[in-house]
Structure 1
Amino acid sequence: MDDRLVISYSSRHFSGEDWTSRADRWTASFYENGPTEVFGSAVITRVVPGAVPNPLEALAEDPGVLDRIPRVIFAEDGGLAPVVAELRPTLLLLLESVEVSAEWRGKGVGMRLAVEALRRLAVPGALAVCYPAPVHPEHGPGEVCPYDSDDPEARRPDEEAVAKLRHGWETHGFSLLADGVYARRMEP
């Protein structure tokens, strides 16, 4: 039996002619022992700064699970926020989510595979951006999740998870950009 982990990629483009050639959403699927046993995935949106008319506006129409990242990295006019502009990225890799099956959680495998998936989609000067927080598929952008709740008892498990996730991303070279959003220069 082959004991390797495999990453396969698929992409889909945003609707609308302004986005079809300038931004795309990739899914990196994680497989164990060949191409039939999927145990996780990472969803990554690639944006070329300056080529997309207004990414903030376009992502508002098709946010996926992105909500905080676009508000931090883009200005209202669609340009880069000053904290990002000073980094002069050639490509933005917006990590929407990383999910792995229960038996793989807590081992750092999903994070390591997501970093590798980001690296493979990078070009020289790319900036990878993530928001380390638990994924709650039952909540959409703008909806209250436990980590946004005013109830400390509802928030505690998510606050602990956020702290662990932030530490994990930091060990992979990511650092705080602003408002809980982390970034790392990602070279191929």
Structure 2
Amino acid sequence: MLAQRIERPQPFRRRTPDEHPLRLLAVYTNVAKHRAPAVAVTGSAPCTPLVLSVPFPGGMSVPASSLCAMTSAMPKRPVSELPGDPARLHLHYGHGHPAVPYDYEDTLEPWHVTVTYGMAGDEEWEDEGEDGGGQAPVAGSKIGRLILWRLRDYTGDNRWEAVDAESGDLEVIVSAVLGRSGRTGYSAAFEKAVTHPVGDLLLLDRVSLDKEWRGFGLGPALAAEAVRRLSGGCCAVAVFPGMGEYPEDREQVTETYRLQAKKKIAALWESIGFQPFRRGVWLLDTALRRPEELMQARRAELRALGTAFQRPPSA
């Protein structure tokens, strides 16, 4: 195992483009060549956006037809439909626990991330409603949330039991990555898929936005930022793509509808560095450079979206 780890970084051992040091240049070159200008990001026909979440069983691997398609999460709705400037969004992180943990609280940590439009008391943006041609949201108003869980290693608890006691949805993820006993470490498949399969595991449970904010590519960008700040010391991040919302007419939810929904959601996760693992679970390897590169690409798209929103209609 040690010999394999030593061999992997050598240049002549690189087997995929992901491992090449010039990949960052390739990512930005492709984004620049193939992405439409920000002012032209208006989409075509409006589509029904989805909430990204875990609870629906299943999953689907979606091969990328090109690097651009794999690394892009472009908006589906016109910039003019944005309720406010996306550059003003703030993420607030929260986690509470008793001084003396009980049950499995030392093994499974919940992290709640609240997304607000600006911060209460902001004065810099008071005239935004006039400049943007509409009524901007109230500063500090909540527009979305994310839920993540940190599954700690080496606490003495059975990690599978800790997760199963909390949620059957999370158990689906953990069953795919842990060894059979739940105590002895990760599964052989996980150790093969992750560069350094030692340490904690971050579980991305839910990403949801208010309806008026969906369809602009904000979900993946916000998830990437949260993962960046909460994945320190974690060997990987795991998610189980699924439908979190359904149309009012449930008869529309055919098998074809579900497959298309899973396809769209999987593409969003892929745009921030997740790759299909097994049993519908997707993994983000925190030791790779690619997730960082994709996060920077999502940031660039978010900045472009904010610039397009701030541009006067006549421009």
TM over 0.5: yes
Per-residue Cα deviation, 1:34-57 (whole angstroms, up to 9, x for no partner)? 252111111111012333521111
Aligned equivalents of 1:123 and 1:110: distance in 2? 21
Range that drifts further, 34-43 or 110-119: 34-43
Q: Which residue of 1 aligns with 2:93?
A: 9
8 Å CA contact 2:240–2:282 kept in 1: the answer is: yes
2:227 pairs with one of 91, 94, 118: 118
| Greater strand content | 1
Offset of 1:31 from its aligned partner?
Answer: 1.0
Establish whether residue 156 from structure 1 lines up as the match of residue 260 from structure 2.
Answer: no
Runs ≥4 residues deviating over 6 A: none
**C-alpha separation in 2, matches of 1:173 and 1:62:** 27
Q: Which amino acid aligns with 1:101?
A: D
The Cα RMSD (Å) is 3.0
Offset of residue 26 of structure 1: 0.4
Question: Aligned pair in 2 of structure 1 residues 54, 30: CA closer, same or farther (>3 Å)?
Answer: same
Moved more, 83-92 or 160-169: 83-92
Instruction: Answer 1 or 2: which has greater helix percent.
Output: 2
Secondary structure of the residue aligned to 1:76 is: coil
1:74 corresponds to: 178
Q: Which residue of 2 aligns with 1:134?
A: 243
The CA deviation at 1:91 is: 2.0
Q: Which runs of 5+ in 2 are unaligned?
A: 1-83, 121-139, 293-315
Tell me, what secondary structure is at the counterpart of 2:143? strand
Is residue 25–residue 46 contact of structure 1 (8 Å, CA) maintained in 2?
Answer: yes
Deviation at 1:85, TM superposition (A): 2.9
Question: Aligned pair count?
Answer: 176
TM-score (norm 1): 0.79
Q: Which has the larger radius of gyration?
A: 2
Deviation per CA, 1:11-63, whole angstroms, max 9, x where unpaired?
24599635333330101111112252111111111012333521111111111
Partner of 1:34: 119
Aligned to 2:271: 171
TM-score if structure 2 supplies the norm length?
A: 0.50
SS of residue in 2 equivalent to 1:17: coil
The answer as to 2:215 corresponding to 1:106 is yes
Structure 1: segments with no counterpart, 5+ residues:
138-145
Rounded to whole Å, the distance in 1 between the matches of 2:243 and 2:114 is 19
Q: Deviations over 1:81-102 (max 9, x none)?
A: 2222342142211011111111
